[in-house]
Amino acid sequence: MNERVSAFLSKHNFVQHIDIDSFSKALLSDMRNGIAGNKSDEDMIRTWTTPPQKAIAGKKVIVIDAGGTNFRSCLVSFDENGVPSISNLEKTSMPGIERELSFTEFFDQFAKNLEHLKGLSDSIGFCFSYPTEIQKDGDGILLGFSKEVKAPEVVGKPIGKSLSDALVAHGWERPKRISLLNDTVAALLAGAASRSKNVQYSSYIGFILGTGMNAAYIQPATDVSKDFEKAQIVVCESGKFCSVVQSDFDKAVDAKTSKPGTFLMEKGCSGAYLGPLSYEALKLAAEEGCFSPKVAEKIKKLEKLTLIESDGFLHTPYDNTTTLGAIFADGGTQEDYGFAFDLLDAIVERSARYAATILSACVIQSGKGKDPTKPVCILCNGSTYHKTYKVADRVKGYLEEILTRQKGLYWKIVAVENDITLGAAIGGLIER
């Protein structure tokens, strides 16, 4: 790394090389506190379920995927051999992103978005990517919104029942079943469904690094709490972990969010925040004379920066059609290019280390992966993980070092086409 960049980062309290092993131990301690019913940052949400032992066949289910940015809905049909097919797919923006909605407005918009699926199934798999306390019947109570969704009246309400009531108000027959699940659980279930007779996994993890960040794993039965007398999938809500070192850039971004002081881990590594973090870092560097005068003035005039824009520079720094590429192409020195690249890369590198920390903790807490012939299956989802500059490769490298070489634990990262949709469909058909 450029020495000037390193000095700049140190000056602003940005930790450049997070010790993943030590960090994962802190995260593990928090997870275990949550499992035991003690105070913890993470919610460690029970789901009362595990992946089905047999493939689902001969059934149809409506699937809703309410994510950090988009609202997707479709019909998933499993044929007699358990092969799924997707139809009636529609996508729109997530309600509550553009403006604050009341309770009624929020679910009314959901019902309107589902009009094309009326009468196609009496079961709904509802992937709801927000902290939700799952009930034994499959419904869930919203604990709070993240990812800047604005619908405060929905907090504390049963999501499945509220949607069911809204659908009935829109002329639907009341659904037989609405099963709430987190996107991490959907990812985990999709990973479990991907197993074949030629592959055996000892456990499963679902990990999301997209607009937001979170993980789910299978908690073995334990006597530390009556809630965990049986093995079950647990949603960590890893993004809520707050024992992280905040740089000056992190504090600037956090202060502008709807809930400052919360979801500090998520704000340090997920797609919704990496662009703003890069923006704050570049602006501060420009103000402190780290760039040539002409480039510095152009950076100071930037009003915002998205992850797509900052990532575009990392992939192709000399492309003058990108936001940052155009700035540096007009009079930028080689030192300007190098400083900006190393600065933005450091922010992405930290994201990868955060991700590796979470996955390490989940593998260790699962108690599995000790047999190299039966690794822990990790399904990673999210554009930040898959598309951001070298994130996926870095995560794999860190896991190889921390888990396999140091601890003798084995894992495999897998990809499944339409993973969240498939996992939500399976979740919507699990008998409780």
What CATH number has the domain bearing residue 63? Answer: 3.30.420.40
Specify if 397 maps to a domain: yes
Residue type at 21 in one-letter notation: D
322 and 252 in one domain?
yes
Place of tokens 């280390």: 353
- How many Å apart are CA 410 and CA 403, to the nearest integer? 7
Residue 288 CA, distance from chain mean position: 34
pLDDT for 365 equals 97
Beta bridge partners of 75: 62, 87
Residue 188 CA, distance from chain mean position: 12
Please provide residue 104's backbone torsions phi and psi, each rounded to the nearest 5 degrees: -65, -45
Specify if 47 maps to a domain: no
Other Cβ atoms less than 10 A from the Cβ of 259: the count is 12
> Could you list the residue range(s) of the whole structural domain that residue 254 is in?
1-40+196-415
Residue 53 CA, distance from chain mean position: 26
Are the CB atoms for 101 and 148 separated by under 8 Å?
no
311 and 395 in one domain?
yes
Specify if 49 maps to a domain: no
317 and 173 in one domain?
no
Domain CATH number, residue 241: 3.40.367.20
pLDDT for 44 equals 93
pLDDT for 149 equals 79
- How many Å apart are CA 373 and CA 371, to the nearest integer? 5
Specify if 224 maps to a domain: yes
Counting beta carbons within 10 angstroms of the beta carbon of residue 398, is it exposed (0 to 12), middle (13 to 18) or buried (19 or more)? buried
Alpha-carbon Rg for the chain in angstroms: 22
391 and 246 in one domain?
yes
Specify if 54 maps to a domain: no
Specify if 45 maps to a domain: no
224 and 79 in one domain?
no
Specify if 268 maps to a domain: yes
For the beta sheet containing 232-235, the strands, ordered from the edge strand earlier in sequence to the opposite edge, are 45-46, 232-235, 213-219, 203-209, 376-381, 411-414
Question: Structural domain tally of the chain?
Answer: 2
408 and 350 in one domain?
yes
390 and 248 in one domain?
yes
Condensed to tens digits (0 to 9), the pLDDT of residues 411-420 reads 999 999 999 9
173 and 202 in one domain?
no
Helices (H) and strands (E) in the chain, counts: 16, 13
Cα–Cα distances (Å) from 186 to 182, 213, 423, in that order, read: 6, 14, 4
- How many Å apart are CA 368 and CA 321, to the nearest integer? 48
Helix boundaries (H) for 68-182: 103-113, 159-169
Specify if 336 maps to a domain: yes
364 and 236 in one domain?
yes
- How many Å apart are CA 128 and CA 150, to the nearest integer? 15
207 and 172 in one domain?
no
376 and 241 in one domain?
yes
User: Rounded to the nearest 10 degrees, what angle do helices 159-169 and 103-113 cross at?
Assistant: 70
- How many Å apart are CA 131 and CA 145, to the nearest integer? 7
Residue 254 is encoded by which pair of tokens? Answer: 């956090």
For the beta sheet containing 123-128, the strands, ordered from the edge strand earlier in sequence to the opposite edge, are 84-93, 70-78, 59-66, 123-128, 177-181
Are the CB atoms for 252 and 53 separated by under 8 Å?
no
pLDDT for 147 equals 57
Other Cβ atoms less than 10 A from the Cβ of 341: the count is 19
pLDDT for 146 equals 65
Place of tokens 């699990």: 430
Return the C-alpha torsion angle 145, 146, 149, 153, nearest 10.
20
Condensed to tens digits (0 to 9), the pLDDT of residues 323-358 reads 999 999 989 999 999 999 999 999 999 999 999 999
Pick from 130, 19, 34: which is nearest to 356 by CA? Answer: 19
pLDDT for 409 equals 98
Residue type at 404 in one-letter notation: T
DSSP letters along 295-352, please?
Answer: HHHHHHH-----HHHHHHHHH-TT-TTSHHHHHHHTT--HHHHHHHHHHHHHHHHHHH
219 and 270 in one domain?
yes
pLDDT by 10-residue block (mean), the chain, 432 residues: 92 94 96 94 91 88 87 94 92 88 94 95 90 86 79 92 96 93 93 84 96 94 83 94 95 93 95 96 97 96 95 96 94 95 97 97 97 97 96 97 97 93 92 72
